[in-house]
């Protein structure tokens, strides 16, 4: 009887040890690592440091919230088919969550639906899709960003002046919202020209802007709604020599854009907070995994940057990427 | 019931003891482990942070050495003193000496020289100075922070002095004077690649999510791995509390997580290096210790219960068998050996019980023997009494006859008496056959008939199957005697005595009835109890019969009288039908 007792005790301890295997089953470290695949519009960080900043936020949050992340994307922002392929492959890996910056507002909708159908969480960052499939959306309120562009240009032009709006990819959600924000702000104050689309191509934007400047002598302001468009337009404006008469307001903060701001060619640029997008996107994944319900839209905000405030300490960190930080 | 209680209370006591010990030990070891871990963490982290601080001080020292070297350089002094000395060759000479510094020390991002009048030279002329920067304005901005003839250190910032380049650097700015008494003519700025400081901080591992950050004396962040989160209010640090410490440890809760701040302040750089350790990570070891402790506790608990069970069984088993033996004794069975398989006090107790029980058994046996002997002696005494009693009665009759001159009858009676005794009244046996007893009785009746003549008549009728049964001798004669003396003698006219015997199952029922005067109930009771000394000797006889039956056959048998005054008396004798052929 006593031997039986002792044997039972030893057996019990043995079973516990096997269960333990270096892991304390009740501690916080016990859960299996959660996996998230993060898909950007592009991973060409040199041309679009914006995504490098998003990535920095993603990696910081991955460490803070113990999530395994894998960051992917095409080398070109306009390669929608390429992104569709990446999303499809990511789905096959059965991650806990997919964090997606949709390259197209409509084309990725069926895929988003499929992601949710397979029980994978979907968090959209920066650019959204035309469906309710995303659990959480994290990004700049693009309409508000567009309005800020409008407000910025209004500081340099007089009411009734001629202002042009240059957009980028027709059909991209951010482009649609930024444009309507800018147009809604400006429509009663100035005379607006029809929208041009650069397809996020700086050279195309340059050609469009050069023609616009040459053909429209009354032009007093240009709102360029994304970074490559602003870059192209700035180059055309600089070459035209009309930097004093035409106020150019851009969007985002690539190195060339900042350089143009410093030189006073781009008067203002509306800057998003890509780091926070990445960080809060992953934090939303953690909250969803923990069974919490984060708010469905997290606005990471945008600020107006000009030559005067670009080197303020709080803005330096936002505008200039740490050299090695991306590789951490 | 009692046995269970011994076992249960033992187990309960063991369990309570073990639980108490475990809880006490657990609390103590948890407390000491936590204390030790915090102390160790504080010591280790302090060492790391101090080391980091020394390395940073060294870097800043190098930067100042470079700045001093530049300040004391004759070419530099000449360039700064007057725009008149400015020439492309001097600029090239100075610039190339700055380039030498840059190429020797990769951690130096750039070296600049700015004069009050807005002339500047940079180490690298690759892309020239940034035309967007107003150099006189920049001089004024930089001059603010620098004491005359001294140096200042900036926090991390983006340097835009070089065209087409935005570099994250930490700048050391040193003031330069043309003469000891004169005002500042120019500034030397040495930019340390920010990545140097950042990677030094990053390389320090503090648990899985701890980190190091640096603040300057104004509370501005020099380095923080989550600086953007701080700006975005997604994260906070207790910077003012840390600066108030002037180096040391601070345990606090930030953003809902327990944190240990360990900081070292450097008077040389004015920076405070702060390490952030998360307490829950420090205590990961405690969690593991908790696990092992719990497992060992379980093991100890189970074994303790096992041991308690073993010990209690060892005690309670022998007690249980002893109890069962004693229960058997209680119910009257003394014929047992009390043996218990144990080698402790219980064994001794059992042995003592065994001896006691055996002694009791012997005493009982002795008592039984003595009682038997006593009974025999009493019976013998009673038997012995009956013979003279009968003899006196008969001799009385004979004397009485001789006095009346009835010699013939006296002769008959004497011969009847002689035959009566010859039949063996005096033989040693206690019992005789019913048949012999009847013969005694008839002899006696014959004697009494001669005495009472026609006044007495009698009938004797026994069931023949009783003849061979055994009966105590002279059991019936006293009853008949009683019937004569108390029934017939005082009756007017003749009386009849009827003696019948029959068997009912295993019982012999003998009745002696008369139609004499009968008895009053009080008289009847006295007769059977023997409390009132009856007249003459007949009472002695009846009591003798009663006592002999009780002694020989036990209390279930005996003599009963029924009497109706004026109508007669019936004596009923009930004894077991023993002996003879049962069939």
Chain B: which residues have CB within 8 Å of chain A? 130, 132, 155, 157-158, 160, 164, 166-168, 194-195, 198-199, 202, 209, 220, 225-229, 231-232, 234, 280, 284, 287-288, 290-291, 295, 298-299, 302-303, 305-307, 309-310, 313
Closest CA to A278 of A230, A328, A224, A312: A328
**Residues of chain A numbered 277-296 and touching chain B (CB < 8 Å):** 279-280
Domain ranges for chain B: 72-189, 369-576
The alpha carbon of residue B157 is apart from the nearest alpha carbon of chain A, in Å, by 7
Strand A297-299, strand B108-115: pairing: unpaired
A180 shares a domain with A197: yes
pLDDT of amino acid B416: 76
Residue B70's alpha-carbon distances to A327, B79, B122, B135, B189, in angstroms, are 35, 12, 12, 19, 10
Q: How many domains does chain A have?
A: 2
Q: Do A322 and B290 touch (CB under 8 A)?
A: no
Contacts of B290 in chain A (CB under 8 A): 24
Contacts B225 to A, Cβ<8 Å? 60
**C-alpha angle with apex A122: A118 to A125, nearest 5 degrees?**
160
In the prediction, which pLDDT does B488 show? 87
Q: What is the pLDDT of residue B532?
A: 44
Q: What are the Cα distances from residue B226, in Å, to A325, B154, B338, B345, B471?
A: 11, 19, 86, 76, 125
Say which CATH topology domain B369-576 has: Heat Shock Protein 90 (3.30.565)
Domain shared by A163 and A95, yes or no: no
Q: Could you say which residues from 42 to 101 on chain A have a Cβ atom under 8 Å away from some Cβ of chain B?
A: 56-57, 60, 63-64
Contact B493, B459 (CB under 8 A): no
Of A2, A17, A20, the CB nearest to B310: A2
Which of the residues A301, A325, A327 would you substitute to probe the B interface, choosing the one with the greatest number of B C-beta atoms within 10 Å? A325
pLDDT at A218: 94
- Check residues B495 and A28 and name the one with the higher pLDDT: B495
Q: Do A8 and B302 touch (CB under 8 A)?
A: yes
- Counts for chain A of helices (H) and strands (E), in that order: 11, 13
Interface test with chain A among B18, B133, B234, by most A beta carbons within 10 Å: B234
What is the DSSP secondary structure assignment for residue A29, as one 8-state letter? Answer: G
Among the partner-chain residues B225, B299, B309, the one whose CB lies closest to the CB of A1 is B309
- Taking the Cβ of residue A17 and every Cβ of chain B, the question of whether any pair is shorter than 8 Å is answered with yes
Instruction: Judge: B225–A322 Cβ closer than 8 Å, yes or no.
Output: no
Q: Is residue A158 part of a domain?
A: yes
Q: Could A324 and B228 be called an inter-chain contact, meaning their C-beta atoms sit closer than 8 Å?
A: no
Taking contacts as CB-CB distances below 8 angstroms, the residues of chain B near A275 are 228, 232
- Please report the pLDDT score of residue B172 as a whole number: 93
Domain boundary among A253, A272, A291: A272
Are residues A197 and A266 located together in one domain of the fold?
A: yes
Cα(B68)–Cα(B158) distance, rounded to whole angstroms?
Answer: 23
Within 10 angstroms of residue B421's Cβ, the number of other Cβ atoms is 15
Residues A260 and A285 in one domain: no
* A312 near B CB under 8 A: no
Whether B310 and A275 lie within 8 Å, measured CB to CB: no
Average of pLDDT values for B22-30? Answer: 84
Residues of A in contact with B202 (CB under 8 A): 328
pLDDT value for A156: 96
Residues 6+ apart with CB under 8 A from B33: B285, B286, B289
- Residue B288 Cα, gap to closest chain A Cα (Å): 7
CATH code assigned at A171: 3.40.50.2300
More confident position, B334 or B65:
B65
B166 to A317: CB separation less than 8 angstroms, yes or no: no
The mean pLDDT of chain B is 83
User: Is the ipTM, as predicted for this complex, more than 0.90?
Assistant: no
Regarding whether A118 and A58 lie in a shared domain, the answer is yes
CA dist A50 and A257 (Å) reads 12
CA dist B520 → B19, B82, B488, B563 (Å): 86, 172, 15, 8
Which member of A10, A263, A275 has the closest CB to residue B228?
Answer: A275
pLDDT at B365 over 70: yes
Q: What are phi and psi of B147, to 5 degrees?
A: -70, 150
Structure tokens at A44: 């060409």
**Please, are residues A120 and A95 in contact by the beta-carbon 8 Å criterion?**
yes
Chain B, nearest residue to A64 by Cα: B209
The answer to whether the Cβ–Cβ distance between A27 and B227 falls below 8 Å is no
Are A156 and A247 in contact, with CB atoms under 8 Å apart?
yes
Give kind and range of the element (H or E) at residue A184.
Answer: helix A173-186
Same domain for A215 and A123, yes or no, is no
Tally of residues, chain B:
583
Comparing C-alpha atoms, which of B52, B49, B46, B34 is closest to residue B258?
B34
Alpha-helical runs (H) found in B421-537: 434-452, 477-483, 521-529
> Are A97 and A198 contained in the same domain?
no
Question: Contact A311/B167, CB-based, under 8 Å?
Answer: no
What is residue B530's predicted lDDT score, i.e. its pLDDT? Answer: 54
Q: How far apart are CA A316 and CA A263, in angstroms?
A: 17
Q: What is the Cα–Cα distance from B268 to B56, expressed in whole angstroms?
A: 10
pLDDT of the residue at A236: 96
Rounded to the nearest angstrom, the gap between the alpha carbon of residue A176 and the centroid of all alpha carbons in its chain is 15
Q: Are residues A198 and A247 in the same domain?
A: yes
Paired tokens of B531: 């409390």
Q: Please judge whether A9 and B303 are an interchain contact, meaning their C-beta atoms are less than 8 angstroms apart.
A: yes
**In Å, what is the CA distance from A80 to each residue of A39, A85, B1, B129?**
12, 9, 84, 41
Domain that holds residue A285: 34-140+273-300
Structure tokens at B488: 């017939």
Q: Half-sphere exposure of residue B360, counting CA atoms within 13 Å on the CB side? A: 14
**How many residue pairs from chains A and B have C-beta atoms closer than 8 A?**
99
CA distance A64 to B234: 12
CA distances from B304 to B7, B14, B27, B67 (A): 13, 6, 20, 76
Sort strands A219-224 and A162-167 into parallel, antiparallel or unpaired.
parallel
Q: What is the pLDDT of residues B419-455, one digit of tens each?
A: 777 765 556 677 888 888 888 888 788 878 877 888 8
Nearest-Cα distance to chain B for A36, in Å, is 19
Please give the class, per CATH, of domain B72-189: alpha beta
Which long-range contacts does B396-399 make (Cβ < 8 Å, 24+ apart)?
A: B397/B447, B397/B448, B397/B450, B397/B451
CB contact under 8 A, B226 and A57: no
What are B454-481's pLDDT values in tens digits? 889 999 999 988 888 888 877 888 888 8
Q: Which residue has the higher pLDDT, B341 or A282?
A: A282
- CA-nearest residue of chain A to B232? A276
Q: Is any Cβ of chain B less than 8 angstroms from the Cβ of A2?
A: yes
Residues A50 and A164 grouped into a single domain: no
Cβ separation of B313 and A314 shorter than 8 Å? no
* B306 contacts A5? CB cut-off 8 A: yes
Distances (CA, A) of B376 to A74, B103, B402, B427, B474: 129, 141, 39, 16, 17
Report whether pLDDT(B515) > 70: yes
Shortest distance between the Cα of A33 and any Cα of chain B, in A, equals 14
| Residues A132 and A163 grouped into a single domain | no
A298 phi and psi angles, rounded to 5 deg: -110, 115
**pLDDT tens by residue, B125-155:** 566 888 888 888 888 888 888 888 888 898 8
At A27 the pLDDT is: 44
Q: What is the pLDDT of residue B377?
A: 77
Do A205 and A218 fall within a single domain?
A: yes
Residue of A nearest to B300 (CA): A9
Nearest-neighbour CA in chain B from A294: distance (Å): 15
Check CB contact under 8 Å for B232 and A273.
yes
Q: Given A16, A63, A311, which is nearest B209 (Cβ)? A: A63
Helix or strand (DSSP H, E) at B272: strand B271-278
Q: What phi and psi values does residue B411 have, to the nearest 5 degrees?
A: -65, -45
Can you give the pLDDT at residue B428? 63
Task: Read off the pLDDT of residues B169-210 as tens digits, 9 standing for 90 and up.
Answer: 999 999 887 666 667 788 999 999 888 888 899 888 887 778
For residue B529, the model assigns a pLDDT of: 63
For B458-491, give the secondary structure using H, E and C: EEEEECHHHCCCEEECCCCHHHHHHHHHHHHCCC
Is residue A82, in this structure, part of any structural domain at all? yes
**Cα–Cα–Cα angle for B230, B225, A250, rounded to 5 degrees:** 65
Q: Would an 8 Å CB–CB cutoff place A33 in contact with chain B?
A: no
Q: How far is CA B366 from CA B359, B360, B361, B363, in A?
A: 11, 10, 9, 5
- pTM confidence score: 0.63
- Per the listing, tokens 């930089």 go with B142
The three-state secondary structure class of B562 is strand
β-pairing, B257-265 vs B271-278, is: antiparallel
Q: What is the C-alpha to C-alpha distance for residues B543 and B382, in angstroms, rounded to an integer?
A: 10
Strands (E), B45-166: 108-115, 120-122, 151-153, 157-159
Q: So what's the pLDDT on residue A142?
A: 92
Is A197 in the same domain as A263? yes
Structure confidence at residue B123 (pLDDT):
80
What are the structure tokens assigned to B338, written together? Answer: 């009390």
Q: From CA A327, how far away is CA B199, in angstroms rounded?
A: 12
CA distance B191 to B172: 6
Within 8 A of B309 by CB-CB distance, chain A residues are: 1-2, 5
**Positions in chain A whose pLDDT score sits under 70:** 1-32, 322-328
Using CA atoms, how far residue B436 sits from B385, B422, B476, in Å, is 20, 12, 11
> How many residues are listed for chain A in this entry?
328
| Mean pLDDT in residue range B365-387 | 80
What residues of B are in contact with residue A314 (Cβ under 8 Å)?
A: 231
CB < 8 Å to B132, chain A = 262-264, 307
Q: CB distance from A263 to chain B under 8 Å? A: yes
Cα B378–chain centre separation:
64
Are the beta carbons of B303 and A314 separated by less than 8 Å? no
Nearby residues of B423 by Cβ (< 8 Å), 6 or more positions away: B436, B439, B440, B443
**3-class DSSP assignment, residue B574:** strand
């Amino acid at each position: 009887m006593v031997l039986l007792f002792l044997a039972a005790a030893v057996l019990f301890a043995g079973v516990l040890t096997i269960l333990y295997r270096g892991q304390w089953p009740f501690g916080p470290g016990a859960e299996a690592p959660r996996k998230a695949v993060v898909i950007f519009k592009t991973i060409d960080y040199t041309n679009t440091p914006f995504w490098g900043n998003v990535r920095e936020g993603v990696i910081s949050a991955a460490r803070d919230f113990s999530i395994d992340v894998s960051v992917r994307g095409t080398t070109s922002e306009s390669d929608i088919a390429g992104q569709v392929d990446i999303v499809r492959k990511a789905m096959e890996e059965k991650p806990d969550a997919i964090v997606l910056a949709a390259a197209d507002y409509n084309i990725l909708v069926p895929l988003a639906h499929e992601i949710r159908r397979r029980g994978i969480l979907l968090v959209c960052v920066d650019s959204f899709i035309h469906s309710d499939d995303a659990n959480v959306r994290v990004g700049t309120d693009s309409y508000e960003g567009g309005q800020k562009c409008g407000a910025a240009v209004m500081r340099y032009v007089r009411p009734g002046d001629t202002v042009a709006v240059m957009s980028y990819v027709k059909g991209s959600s951010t482009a649609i919202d930024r444009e309507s924000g800018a147009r809604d702000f400006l429509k009663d104050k100035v005379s607006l020209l029809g929208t041009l689309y650069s397809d996020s191509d700086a050279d195309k934007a340059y050609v469009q802007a050069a023609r616009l400047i040459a053909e429209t002598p009354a032009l007093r302001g240009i709102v360029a709604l994304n970074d490559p468009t602003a870059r192209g337009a700035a180059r055309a404006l600089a070459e035209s020599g009309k930097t004093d008469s035409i106020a150019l307001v851009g969007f985002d903060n690539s190195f060339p854009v900042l350089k143009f701001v410093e030189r006073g060619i781009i008067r203002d640029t509306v800057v998003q907070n890509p780091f926070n997008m990445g960080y809060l996107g992953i934090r939303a994944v953690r909250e969803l995994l923990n069974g919490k319900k984060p708010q469905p839209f997290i606005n990471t905000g945008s600020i107006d940057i000009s030559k005067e405030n670009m080197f303020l300490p709080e803005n330096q960190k936002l505008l200039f990427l740490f050299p090695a930080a991306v590789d951490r | 019931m009692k046995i269970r209680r011994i076992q249960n209370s033992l187990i309960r006591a063991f369990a309570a003891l073990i639980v108490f010990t475990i809880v006490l030990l657990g609390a103590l070891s948890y407390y000491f482990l936590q204390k030790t871990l915090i102390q160790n963490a504080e010591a280790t982290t302090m060492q790391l942070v101090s080391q980091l601080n020394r390395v940073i001080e060294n870097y800043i020292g190098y930067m100042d050495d470079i700045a001093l070297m530049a300040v004391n350089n004759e070419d530099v002094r000449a360039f700064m003193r007057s725009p008149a000395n400015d020439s492309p060759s001097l600029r090239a000479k100075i610039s190339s000496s700055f380039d030498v510094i840059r190429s020797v020390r990769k951690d130096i991002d750039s070296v600049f020289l700015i004069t009050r009048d807005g002339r500047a030279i940079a180490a690298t002329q690759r892309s020239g100075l940034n035309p967007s920067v107003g150099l006189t304005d920049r001089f004024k901005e930089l001059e603010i922070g620098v004491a005359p003839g001294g140096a200042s250190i900036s926090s991390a910032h983006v340097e835009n002095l070089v065209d087409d380049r935005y570099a994250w650097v930490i700048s050391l700015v040193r003031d330069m004077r043309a003469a000891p008494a004169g005002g500042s003519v120019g500034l030397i700025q040495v930019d340390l690649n920010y990545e140097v400081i950042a990677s030094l901080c990053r390389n320090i591992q503090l648990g899985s999510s701890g980190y190091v950050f640096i603040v300057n004396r104004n509370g501005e962040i020099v380095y923080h791995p989550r600086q953007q989160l701080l700006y975005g209010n997604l994260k906070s640090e207790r910077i003012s509390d840390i600066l108030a410490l002037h180096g040391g440890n601070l345990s606090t809760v930030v953003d809902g997580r327990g944190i240990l701040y360990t900081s070292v302040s450097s008077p040389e750089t004015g920076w405070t290096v702060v390490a952030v350790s998360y307490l829950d990570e420090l205590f990961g070891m405690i969690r593991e210790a908790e696990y092992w402790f719990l497992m060992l506790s379980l093991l100890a608990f189970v074994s303790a219960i096992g041991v308690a069970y073993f010990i209690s069984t060892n005690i309670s088993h022998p007690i249980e068998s002893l109890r069962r033996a004693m229960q058997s004794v209680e119910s009257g069975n003394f014929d047992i050996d009390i043996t218990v398989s144990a080698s402790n006090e219980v064994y001794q107790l059992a042995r003592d019980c065994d001896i006691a029980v055996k002694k009791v058994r012997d005493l009982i046996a002795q008592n039984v023997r003595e009682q038997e002997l006593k009974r025999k002696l009493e019976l013998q005494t009673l038997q012995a009494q009956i013979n003279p009693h009968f003899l006196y009665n008969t001799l009385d009759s004979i004397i009485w006859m001789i006095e009346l001159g009835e010699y013939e009858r006296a002769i008959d009676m004497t011969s009847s008496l002689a035959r009566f005794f010859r039949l063996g009244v005096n033989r040693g046996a206690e019992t005789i056959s019913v048949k012999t007893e009847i013969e005694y009785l008839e002899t006696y009746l014959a004697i009494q008939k001669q005495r009472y003549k026609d006044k007495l008549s009698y009938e004797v009728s026994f069931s023949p199957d009783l003849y061979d049964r055994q009966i105590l001798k002279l059991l019936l004669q006293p009853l008949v005697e009683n019937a004569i003396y108390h029934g017939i003698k005082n009756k007017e006219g003749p009386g009849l005595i009827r003696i019948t015997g029959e068997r009912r199952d295993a019982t012999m029922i003998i009745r002696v009835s008369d139609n004499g005067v009968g008895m009053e109930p009080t008289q009847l009771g006295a007769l059977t109890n023997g409390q009132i000394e009856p007249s003459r000797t007949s009472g002695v006889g009846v009591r003798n019969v009663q006592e002999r039956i009780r002694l020989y056959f036990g209390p279930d048998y005996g003599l009963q009288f029924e009497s109706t005054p004026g109508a007669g008396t019936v004596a009923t004798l009930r004894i077991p039908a023993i002996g003879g052929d049962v069939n």
